[in-house]
């Protein structure tokens, strides 16, 4: 089914025609249409046009109004203040527009695809091999997953990349210990759980570290093993692969708990670019983008200086011949641009790495790997804070383990679900399943409803609250609608454009019409918090509608059908919007 033209676009077209008819030189001018508390829409663009044409803005606005065709879409237009236009939409237009969205059998609710889709490589969810994931890994995973879903929904070809930390000197110690204790990662009982895999890795790491710190001969052997690893010695690589495989068992268990699909082919860690590092350095040095300084290969920037006022370089290759993060990141850019044919590179990475990525992107631009046709963007995110406003830690001052945090969220949410379970008639398996959906949804929504660049406080009590801006509030709104639809009996949702709409119906309908433009804007700007804000407002308008407009006890059968249609479309919009954020909407709560 074709996309549905929004009411704002229809009004925009009417205004544009009237403007050009009144003032031919204003053809193509933006009437600056926006939602308003004083009318359905307000247009403010005439003030600037009048100033440019040296005309009286109120008189020009009056002339424009005389040329606006009212009837099918626009019910009424009046001039306000110095030349604003207050526009009221016809009830029939609202209902017909929503009916077209409701009839979209693709499930897209009339949302169009982006005009110029391309290929975006999105780099997110970057845990480290042989290390436990902590709360700091949460934001990259949740934000990256939501942005990926949004981009795909708008027609973008999305390539996911999980740049895991799977290389470096620390593996020498681990590999050497495993080589001397070869059965430490054997799975004698068959498959192991994620918890067991992490326990295995943690036990092995502690034992290797203890030996490394106390035994000089072992330390020497471990350092030699790093050389073997970097040289690609087969036995050493096989030992290294065991750590990667064990870590993946753990990673996948955490991502499954987050209700997030991470595919193995998308995991391309630091090791995936090893074969490109030497060539990357050669290309940068030969082009003059990078120069040798005290034996190291560096890229300098006039605007990046240290405390002493001297330029701070991006070190691509160290003086001892080793490669730093920059060499790997630049090689990844080459692979993504020339191998994956990406138009956009999107990095969901902690804001504290902003300087590094700014220098990496500028280096790639100077090398010709990025340009007008290929852009790179860091979607930087802030820090997760505790209730006290300080970085989130345990009572002992340690970093909070992500697995523990998710388990607690599910436990809290399950308790909330259980309180209402008897009234709804939920079986034990439904309580367990819904508790998981509510708990994980609460964690994701708390993150996604905050602008990515801002820090946010992690407060589970607030997250699983039925009141306020929480995912639980939205999930209950959806479940409440499903309850109404189940109780409707023989009455079915059906649009009746001939009916006059109550104020709460109009407000709900106009907001439903904004879903498409909200999704496209959020996908274009990588700002999922704006979709969360839209959905919260939708649920709030739904609550007002419930209070003011009886559904099953409406005055006439036609009004019952029309209100069932309105709430059903609201439910579909909530369901689709939450799905784009990676959050489930249970049918019964």
**Which tokens hold the place of 262?**
């991470």
* pLDDT for the residue numbered 188: 66
> DSSP states of 240-302 as a string?
HHHHHHHHHHHHHHHHHHTT----GGGB--GGGGGGGHHHHHHHHHHTTSSEEETTEEEE--T
* pLDDT for the residue numbered 73: 94
Rounded to whole angstroms, the Cα distance separating 351 from 365 reads 21
**Which tokens hold the place of 208?**
């290797």
Report pTM: 0.94
At 392 the three-state DSSP class reads coil
Tokens 């709804």 — which residue?
A: 424
Q: How many other C-beta atoms are found inside a 10 Å radius of the C-beta of residue 362?
A: 18
* pLDDT for the residue numbered 93: 97
Tokens 């526009």 — which residue?
A: 87
* pLDDT for the residue numbered 424: 87
User: Could you list the pLDDT tens digit for every one of the 589 residues in the chain?
Assistant: 568 999 999 999 998 888 888 888 877 788 889 988 889 999 998 888 888 888 898 988 899 899 988 888 999 999 998 889 999 999 999 999 999 999 998 989 999 999 999 999 999 999 999 999 998 899 999 999 999 999 999 999 999 999 999 998 889 999 999 999 988 888 766 688 999 999 999 999 999 999 999 999 999 999 999 989 988 999 999 999 999 999 999 999 999 999 999 999 999 999 999 999 999 999 999 999 999 999 999 999 988 877 777 888 999 999 988 898 999 999 999 999 999 999 999 999 999 999 999 999 999 999 999 999 999 999 999 998 888 888 887 666 778 889 999 999 999 999 999 998 888 889 999 999 999 999 999 999 999 999 999 988 888 888 888 788 999 999 999 999 999 999 999 999 999 999 999 999 999 999 999 999 999 999 999 999 999 999 999 999 999 999 999 999 999 999 999 999 999 999 999 999 999 999 999 999 9
Rounded to whole angstroms, the Cα distance separating 435 from 423 reads 16
484 close to 568: Cβ distance less than 8 angstroms: no
Distance of CA 27 to the CA centre of its chain: 37
């Amino acid at each position: 089914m074709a996309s549905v033209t929004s009411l704002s676009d229809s009004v925009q077209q009417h205004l544009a025609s009237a403007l050009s008819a009144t003032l031919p030189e204003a053809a193509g001018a933006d009437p600056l249409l926006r939602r308003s508390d004083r009318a359905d829409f307000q247009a403010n663009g005439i003030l600037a046009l009048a100033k440019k044409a040296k005309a009286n803005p109120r008189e020009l606005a009056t002339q424009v109004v005389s040329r606006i065709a009212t009837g099918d879409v626009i019910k009424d237009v009046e001039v306000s203040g110095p030349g604003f236009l207050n526009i009221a939409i016809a009830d029939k237009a609202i209902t017909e527009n929503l009916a077209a969205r409701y009839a979209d059998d693709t499930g897209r609710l009339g949302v169009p695809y982006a005009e110029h889709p391309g290929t975006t490589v999105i780099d997110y969810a970057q845990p480290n091999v042989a290390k436990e994931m902590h709360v700091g890994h949460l934001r990259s995973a949740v934000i990256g997953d939501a942005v990926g879903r949004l981009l795909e929904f708008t027609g973008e070809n999305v390539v996911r990349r999980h740049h895991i930390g799977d290389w470096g000197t620390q593996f020498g110690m681990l590999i050497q210990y495993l080589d001397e204790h070869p059965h430490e990662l054997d799975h004698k009982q068959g498959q192991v759980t994620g918890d067991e895999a992490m326990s295995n890795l943690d036990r092995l790491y502690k034992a290797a570290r203890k030996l490394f710190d106390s035994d000089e001969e072992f330390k020497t052997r471990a350092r030699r093993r790093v050389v073997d690893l970097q040289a690609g010695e087969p036995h050493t690589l096989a030992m290294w692969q065991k750590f990667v495989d064990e870590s993946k068992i753990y990673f996948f268990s955490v991502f499954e708990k987050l209700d997030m699909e991470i595919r193995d082919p998308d995991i391309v860690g630091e090791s995936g670019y090893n074969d490109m590092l030497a060539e990357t350095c050669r290309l940068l040095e030969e082009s003059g983008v990078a120069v040798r300084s005290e034996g190291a290969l560096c890229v300098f920037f006039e605007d990046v200086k240290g405390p002493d006022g001297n330029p701070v370089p991006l070190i691509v290759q160290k003086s001892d011949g080793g490669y730093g993060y920059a060499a790997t990141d630049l090689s990844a850019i080459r692979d993504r641009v020339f191998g994956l044919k990406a138009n956009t590179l999107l990095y969901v990475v902690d804001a504290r790495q902003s300087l590094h990525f700014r220098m990496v992107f500028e280096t790639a631009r100077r090398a010709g790997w990025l340009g007008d046709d290929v852009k790179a963007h860091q979607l930087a995110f802030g820090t997760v804070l505790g209730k006290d406003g300080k970085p989130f830690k345990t009572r002992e001052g340690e970093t909070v383990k992500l697995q523990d945090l998710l388990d607690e969220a599910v436990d809290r949410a399950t308790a909330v679900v259980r309180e209402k379970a008897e009234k709804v008639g939920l079986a034990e398996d439904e309580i367990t399943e819904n508790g998981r959906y509510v708990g994980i949804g609460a964690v994701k929504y708390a993150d996604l409803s905050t602008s990515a660049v801002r820090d946010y406080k992690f407060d589970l009590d607030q997250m699983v609250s039925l009141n306020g801006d929480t995912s639980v509030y939205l999930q209950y709104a959806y479940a409440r609608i499903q309850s109404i639809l189940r109780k409707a009996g023989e009455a079915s949702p059906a649009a009746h454009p001939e009916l006059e709409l109550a104020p709460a119906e109009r407000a709900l309908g106009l907001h439903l019409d904004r879903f498409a433009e909200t999704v496209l804007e959020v996908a274009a700007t990588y700002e999922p918090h704006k979709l969360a804000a839209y959905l919260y407002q939708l649920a709030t308008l739904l609550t007002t509608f419930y209070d003011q407009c009886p559904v099953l006890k409406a005055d006439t059968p036609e009004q019952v059908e029309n209100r069932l249609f309105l709430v059903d479309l609201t439910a579909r919009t909530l369901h689709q919007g939450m799905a784009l954020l990676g959050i489930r909407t249970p049918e019964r709560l």
